[in-house]
Amino acid sequence: MQQLKRIFIGKPLKSSDEGNQKLGRFKALAMLSSDALSSVAYGTEEIVVVLTTLSAAAIWYSIPIAAFVLVLLISLTLSYRQVIHAYPGGGGAYVVSSENLGKNAGLVAGGSLLVDYMLTVAVSISAGAEAITSAIPAMYGHQVGISFVIVIILMAMNLRGMRESASFLMVPVYLFVLMMTLMIIVGCYKIFTGAIPFHATATVGAVVPGISMALIFRAFSSGSSSLTGVEAISNAVPFFKKPRATNAAETLAIMAAILGFFFAGITFLNYWYGIVPMEKVTVLSQVAQHTFGKGFFFYIVQFATAFILAVAANTGFSAFPVLAYNLAKDKYMPHMYMDRGDRLGYSNGIITLAIGSMALIFIFNGDTSRLIPLYAVGVFIPFTLSQSGMLRKWWVERPKNWFGKSIANFVGALISFAILIILFVYRLPDIWPFFIIMPIMIWIFYKIHDHYKKVARQLRVSANEAVLHDYDGSTVIVLVSNVTQVTRGALDYAQSIGDYVIAMHVSTDENPEKEREIQAEFKADFPNVRFVDVHSSYRSIQKPIVRFVDIVSKNAQKRNFTTTVLVPQFVPRKPWQNILHNQ
In the predicted structure, residue 180 carries a pLDDT above the cut 90 = yes
243: preceding bond cis by omega (within 30 degrees): yes
Residues 551 and 426 both lie in one domain: no
Residue 161's pLDDT band (cuts 50, 70, 90): low
Residues 400 and 490 both lie in one domain: no
In the predicted structure, residue 564 carries a pLDDT above the cut 70 = yes
Question: What are the backbone dihedrals phi and psi of residue 240, each rounded to the nearest 5 degrees, phi first?
Answer: -85, 155
Decide which of 449, 464, 494 is a domain's last residue. 449
> 116 near 382, Cβ under 8 Å?
yes
pLDDT tens across 341-383, in order?
655 567 888 889 999 888 888 887 777 667 767 777 877 888 8
Residue 164's pLDDT band (cuts 50, 70, 90): low
Residue 493's pLDDT band (cuts 50, 70, 90): very high
Question: What CATH number does the domain containing 72 carry?
Answer: 1.20.1740.10
Decide which of 449, 465, 493 is a domain's last residue. 449
Residues 417 and 555 both lie in one domain: no
Is 478 domain-assigned?
A: yes
pLDDT greater at residue 536 or residue 502: 502
Decide which of 449, 464, 488 is a domain's last residue. 449
pLDDT greater at residue 108 or residue 434: 108
Residues 123 and 263 both lie in one domain: yes
Question: What CATH number does the domain containing 543 carry?
Answer: 3.40.50
> What's the average model confidence in pLDDT over 269-284?
84
> 448 near 334, Cβ under 8 Å?
yes
The pLDDT assigned to 4 comes to: 54
Residues 202 and 290 both lie in one domain: yes
Is 556 domain-assigned?
A: yes
pLDDT greater at residue 513 or residue 353: 353
The pLDDT assigned to 528 comes to: 87
The pLDDT assigned to 479 comes to: 92
**Which bin fits 398, alpha (ψ -120 to 50), beta or left (φ > 0)?**
left
For 583, residues 6+ apart whose C-beta sits below 8 A from its C-beta are: 569, 570
Is 237 domain-assigned?
A: yes
The pLDDT assigned to 463 comes to: 55
Q: What percent of the chain has a predicted confidence (pLDDT) above 70?
A: 90
Is 466 domain-assigned?
A: no
The pLDDT assigned to 235 comes to: 74
Residues 486 and 397 both lie in one domain: no
In the predicted structure, residue 207 carries a pLDDT above the cut 90 = no
Residues 477 and 416 both lie in one domain: no
> 358 near 140, Cβ under 8 Å?
no
The pLDDT assigned to 189 comes to: 92
The pLDDT assigned to 190 comes to: 92
Residues 54 and 147 both lie in one domain: yes
pLDDT greater at residue 227 or residue 451: 451
Whole-number Å distance between alpha carbons of 76 and 153: 32
Residues 285 and 166 both lie in one domain: yes
Residues 170 and 133 both lie in one domain: yes
pLDDT greater at residue 453 or residue 1: 453
Residue 179's pLDDT band (cuts 50, 70, 90): very high
Partners of 563 in the beta sheet? 475
In the predicted structure, residue 16 carries a pLDDT above the cut 60 = no
Residues 217 and 347 both lie in one domain: yes
Whole-number Å distance between alpha carbons of 335 and 325: 8
In the predicted structure, residue 407 carries a pLDDT above the cut 70 = yes
Whole-number Å distance between alpha carbons of 292 and 460: 70
> What's the average model confidence in pLDDT over 164-169?
70
Whole-number Å distance between alpha carbons of 487 and 477: 12
> What's the average model confidence in pLDDT over 462-482?
77
> Please, where are the H alpha helices in 274-346?
283-292, 296-311, 314-329
Is 346 domain-assigned?
A: yes
Residues 548 and 408 both lie in one domain: no
In the predicted structure, residue 319 carries a pLDDT above the cut 70 = yes
> What's the average model confidence in pLDDT over 149-172?
77
Domain holding 318, by residue range, is 1-9+38-449
pTM, whole model, 2 decimals?
Answer: 0.70
Is 467 domain-assigned?
A: no
Residue 178's pLDDT band (cuts 50, 70, 90): very high
Domain count of the fold of the chain: 2
Is 30 domain-assigned?
A: no
Is 22 domain-assigned?
A: no
Whole-number Å distance between alpha carbons of 485 and 503: 15
Residue 107's pLDDT band (cuts 50, 70, 90): very high
DSSP string, 35-79: HHHHTHHHHHHHHHHHHTTT-GGGGGGHHHHHHHHHHHHHHHHHH
| For the chain, the helix, strand and coil percentages under 3-state DSSP, each to the nearest 5 | 70, 5, 25
Whole-number Å distance between alpha carbons of 34 and 309: 8
